[in-house]
């Protein structure tokens, strides 16, 4: 049997615990769960290890409060940071989570200098930028979970609206992970037919708006927590695409160097993921309206990236 890749998950809250569960249940990885709270990662890891006797997975999982046991990780999923609360925007988390992510990345890089860094902490695109800057890794090894989740939400709402299997729905969401996401309605299809052949424009725009508000909708309903099941599924899709060299095109937050006319910002674009991480940013022909929406989204993220730049120099 080939050696199982080690994947470390930094942050053992609801999202991190769910990520660890999905990874270990895949039965392909050894998983390290890390958190600063004494006993939290150890307890969750022990619980997951015991579930393996029932579920039939045999990969190791263990919890720790330090980084020594993450040494040699092939991929590191970073979830650490303060979560959003009802009424709070992702951007309000910027200062606190910039400092947290800087510390986490510094310690992660010291123990796993060849790892892929996969970001989940909000504000997602800015934290991906922070990780890119602090790690000094090449950009193909630093990616953020944004469009993977937003696209899944858009596909779900389309499938529910039409009462069809979500497997029949293809849709991409680009841009920043927030209020200025850019669902590419023109490219959305159901059973190969354009979405606009299935629904009138007012219903499509209602689904677009619900996709923009999807995280806040869950926040309002839960009252004491935020989404964690779908985010964990989205980040694990990215881990699997890289570790299994699937060459799968997934919208991810990535550092731009001229692609789509964008530079010096991390933003959600269609990315082919494989054994080298980001293998290419896939070019797509955009209308002037789509390009303008993407540029507006990137400009909002870029403003926050410049704030993060200032925080990283203090």
Active site residues: 177
Q: Are 52 and 58 in contact (CB under 8 A)?
A: yes
Q: Is 124 helix (H, G, I), strand (E, B) or coil?
A: helix
What DSSP assignment string belongs to 251-300?
EEEEEEESGGG-EEEEEEEEEEEETTEEEEEPP----HHHHHHHHHHHHH
Q: Which of 241, 184, 177, 240 is nearest to 208 (CA)?
A: 184
Q: How far apart are CA 108 and CA 189, in angstroms?
A: 40
Q: How far apart are CA 237 and CA 304, in angstroms?
A: 27
Q: CB neighbours of 141 closer than 8 A, spacing ≥ 6?
A: 115, 116, 117, 135, 277, 278
């Amino acid at each position: 049997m080939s050696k199982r890749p080690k994947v470390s998950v930094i942050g053992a809250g609801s999202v991190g615990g769910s990520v660890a569960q999905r990874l270990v249940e895949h039965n392909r990885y050894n998983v390290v769960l890390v958190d600063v709270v004494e006993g939290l990662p150890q307890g969750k890891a022990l619980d997951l290890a015991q579930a393996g006797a029932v579920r039939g997975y045999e990969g190791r999982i263990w919890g720790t409060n330090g980084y020594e046991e993450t040494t040699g990780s092939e991929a590191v999923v970073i979830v650490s940071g303060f979560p959003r609360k009802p009424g709070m925007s992702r951007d309000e988390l910027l200062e606190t989570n910039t400092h947290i992510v800087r510390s986490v990345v510094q310690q992660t890089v010291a123990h796993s200098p060849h790892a892929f860094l996969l970001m989940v902490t909000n504000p997602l695109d800015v934290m991906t930028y922070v990780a890119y800057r602090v790690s000094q890794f090449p950009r193909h090894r630093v990616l953020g979970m944004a469009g993977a989740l937003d696209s899944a939400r858009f596909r779900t709402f389309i499938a529910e609206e039409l009462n069809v299997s979500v497997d029949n729905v293809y849709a991409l969401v680009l841009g920043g992970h927030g209020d200025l996401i850019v669902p590419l309605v023109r490219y959305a299809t159901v059973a190969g037919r354009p979405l606009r052949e299935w629904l009138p424009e007012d219903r499509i725009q209602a689904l677009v708006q619900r996709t923009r508000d999807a995280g806040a909708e869950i926040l309002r309903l839960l009252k004491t927590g935020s989404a964690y099941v779908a985010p964990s599924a989205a980040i694990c899709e990215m881990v699997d695409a890289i570790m299994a060299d699937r060459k799968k095109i997934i919208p991810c937050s990535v550092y731009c160097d001229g692609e789509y006319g964008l530079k010096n910002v991390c933003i959600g674009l269609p990315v082919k993921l494989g054994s080298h991480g980001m293998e290419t940013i896939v070019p797509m022909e955009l209308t002037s309206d789509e390009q303008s929406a993407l540029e507006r989204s990137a400009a909002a993220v870029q403003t926050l990236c410049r704030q993060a730049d200032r925080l990283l120099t203090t």
